[in-house]
Amino acid sequence: MSKGFSLLEVLVALSILIVAIVTLAMVMGRSASTNTSARRTTYATLLATDKIEQFRALPFDDAALATSTSDTLATDCEGFFDEPAPGYRRRWSIVPLTGSTDAVVVTVAVSWGTASTQALLTTLKVRRAA
């Protein structure tokens, strides 16, 4: 009976250890990437919420609530976009609610990175009864 491990046993143990370490490193890298993406999405959502709250605080007849053109969420239209933070572009549209003169639909889109990455929020602004 020999004391210690054979070379084969050591190689198998090292192989298992290396696979475990590489897998752990890959998981850590992926989680860091996911964390960054989640942080950007959360910040974009906060920027969109901030703009929605600005519109909700305005009187219904305010000029800032004027009807927008149909492409304001896709392109930069004067008066319907801004850059609230470096790397983020915020666009919004204001469209009358179909069949109503006392309500508008407000949609805010905040994009970052590629134009297809965005947070999109929609709310309804209603004229209050006098």
Q: What average pLDDT does this structure show over 15-27?
A: 94
Bridge-based pairing of strands 88-96 and 103-112 is: antiparallel
| Among 63, 116, 115, residue whose Cα is nearest residue 94 | 63
Q: Evaluate whether residue 112 is within a structural domain.
A: yes
pLDDT tier at 1, thresholds 50, 70, 90: low
Sorted by sequence, the CB contacts under 8 Å of residue 71 that are 6+ apart come out as 77
- The pLDDT tens digits for 38-66 are 999 999 999 999 999 999 999 999 999 99
| Residue range(s) defining the domain that contains residue 73 | 7-126
Q: Evaluate whether residue 1 is within a structural domain.
A: no
Q: Total structural domains in the chain?
A: 1
**E strand or H helix at 31:** helix 7-57
Q: What is the dihedral of CA 52, 112, 84, 71, to 10 degrees?
A: -60
For residues 15 and 7, the answer to whether their CB atoms sit within 8 Å is no
- State the amino acid at position 2 in one-letter form: S
Task: Report residue 79 as tokens.
Answer: 């008066």
Question: What value does the mean pLDDT of the chain take?
Answer: 90
Phi, psi of 51 (to 5 degrees): -65, -40
Q: Evaluate whether residue 114 is within a structural domain.
A: yes
- The pLDDT tens digits for 69-86 are 888 998 999 999 999 999
Query: Does residue 117 register a pLDDT over 60?
Result: yes
